[in-house]
Amino acid sequence: MRTVITTNNHGQSLGRKGMQTRTRLMDAARKLLKSGSLVELTAVSIAKKAKSSSATFYLYFSDVRDILLALTEEAESDMQAVHGILDEPWDPKVLDVDHSRRVVQAFVSVWDKHREVLRYRNLEADRGDPVFENIRLRTSVRIVNRFAEHILASYQEGSGGDKKTAQADASVLVAAMERLAATDPKTVEQGVGAQAMWDAMTRVIAQTLSFPASPAEFDQPR
């Protein structure tokens, strides 16, 4: 859930000009992350990139973490495009590759725009930062839940599939998508290539959401 900002750090209401300045600072931070390292991201460098001053930066953001948090929430908001596609009806009787491809394309589009910010989010979440961990959970849980609903609907009677199995399958799908999206595209291209990998992911999603094999067939003896 994106935080609605209505005032600056001095408590003054943000007008059109103030919102434009805040957006310009966020755009500058995003560009710097794409061209440099997180270590080099400072209030001074962001302000300079935005053709502004450090004083202006601190008028809208408390520190670098604060602007990264705002960028993370922006990425979370953009993920609504993926949610929207997953909210559409999905016929489990059809191997719907086109529908799966739309999910993948929307997901990749968000990660291409926000990769550095989302990798920072994951890093901070893994380090135990509760704020970034909560944002990551909010972003992924809805995708997992919608996948799980579609997977559950695809289980044939007597297949042995249940809600828990569907949640597990969906969690693996989302983890695989995020892992691939987070990898540097140049690194992926050194292998079979990003397009081939995402085509494979599209097929896996389509197959998983359309009358998959009985989960019981894959259970290991206990």
Distance CA 45, CA 52 (A): 10
Q: pLDDT value at position 14? A: 72
Give the end of a domain, one of 44, 62, 80: 62
41 and 107 fall within a common domain: no
Up-side HSE of residue 72: CA atoms within 13 Å toward CB? 23
Handedness of CA 178, 184, 187, 188 (dihedral sign): positive
Phi, psi of 184 (to 5 degrees): -55, 125
Cβ-based neighbours of 216, under 8 Å, separated by 6 or more: 159, 160
Residues 153-168 have a mean pLDDT of 83
pLDDT at residue 211 in the model? 75
> How far are the Cα atoms of 56, 115, 184 from residue 187, in angstroms, in the given order?
38, 14, 5
The pTM score is 0.86
Residue 85's nearest CA partner among 108, 106, 111, 59 is 106
Residue 110 and residue 140 in contact, taking contact as beta carbons nearer than 8 Å: no
Q: Are 206 and 96 spatial neighbours (Cβ–Cβ below 8 Å)?
A: yes
Q: Find the mean pLDDT for residues 155-161.
A: 71
Task: Give the range among 38-52, 112-126, 156-170 with minimum mean pLDDT.
Answer: 156-170
CA–CA distances in Å: residue 36 to residues 31, 39, 42, 45, 173: 9, 8, 11, 11, 31
Asked if 22 and 103 sit in the same domain, the reply is no
Residue 143 has pLDDT above 50, yes or no: yes
User: Does residue 154 have a pLDDT over 80?
Assistant: yes
CATH of the domain at 137: 1.10.357.10
Q: What is the pLDDT of residue 157?
A: 65
- Has residue 222 got a pLDDT over 50? no
Structure tokens, 73: 């929430």
Q: What CATH number should be reported for the domain holding residue 23?
A: 1.10.10
pLDDT at residue 70 greater than cutoff 70: yes
The two three-digit tokens of residue 9, written as one number: 């750090």
pLDDT bin (cut points 50, 70, 90) of residue 189 is: confident
Q: Give the pLDDT of residue 218.
A: 47
Is 10 within the bounds of a domain?
no
57 and 74 co-located in one domain: no
Q: Are residues 112 and 49 in the same domain?
A: no
